[in-house]
Amino acid sequence: MYLSGAAFSAGEFALPDIGLFTLSELVEQTTRLVRASKIPLIVDADTGFGEAVNVERTVTELVAAGAAAIQLEDQRLPKRCGHLSGKSLVDTDDMCAKVRAAVAARGDSDTVILARTDARGVEGFDQAVDRAKRFLDAGADWIFPEALADRKEFEQFAKAVKAPLVANMTEFGKSDLLPLEEFKQLGYAGVLLPVTLLRVAMKAVEESLAAIAQDGTQQALLPRMQSRQELYELLDYTGYEARDRAYFHHKAEP
């Protein structure tokens, strides 16, 4: 799973993706997701909530919350969505210091440190490659090159940077939307669809509200809904009921 900063900002707080949520809020959401699912969770920690020592605490807290991987990016605050213009970057040395702090704070846990570079849209493709190599030298495990343009650039990047790579297939951005099979052929370790489900869900909300406003009832929407039974099965409702009955009906041994 991927805890996207953009989706978290919009879905939880109705805020834009410019680094407005706090570390404690991110840790709380990480804890909830890890508790609810056995799927390993990648957490988007934006710029790490400060400089190297701040990153140290960020990683310590997210490791304790159960993050399987922690993503850090090289933007300067106030940050922007990776597929928008007007971004600025921290110095490569400063980002390397953050990566070293993250690796130190990770300790002997197996949490992955995922370093993202936004250099492609600011300084160009070659600088993105250079930064990625520097981040690997600093100890990053995986690399996330943000906003590459097309298949050719994703292929060139994979040839130049020898590490597990993550591609971002966010919609309405600067990257062509390539199928997962192509990334597999190019050797990428993972592909993110960070806001896809939020966008689909929010469009469904808009259309449903419009239908209710027009019809005065939700009757026509029933075929598009998750049923009560389906929701209860997802939440293991009967399991909670069974345990509750067992607690009350248990007889103590003499």
* CATH 3.40.50.300 holds for 2-196: no
Domain ranges of the chain: 2-196, 200-249
pTM above 0.95, yes or no: no
CA distances from 60 to 43, 106, 142 (A): 13, 6, 18
Q: How far apart are CA 166 and CA 187, in angstroms?
A: 10
Tell me the one-letter amino acid at 138.
A
Residue 252 in 3-state DSSP? coil
Give me the tens of pLDDT residue by residue for the chain, a chain 254 residues long. 999 999 999 999 999 999 999 999 999 999 999 999 999 999 999 999 999 999 999 999 999 999 999 999 999 987 766 566 667 999 999 999 999 999 999 999 999 999 999 999 999 999 999 999 999 999 999 999 999 999 999 999 999 999 999 999 999 999 999 999 999 999 999 999 999 999 999 999 999 999 999 999 999 999 999 999 999 999 999 999 999 999 987 665 55
Sign of CA pseudo-dihedral 89, 94, 96, 102: negative
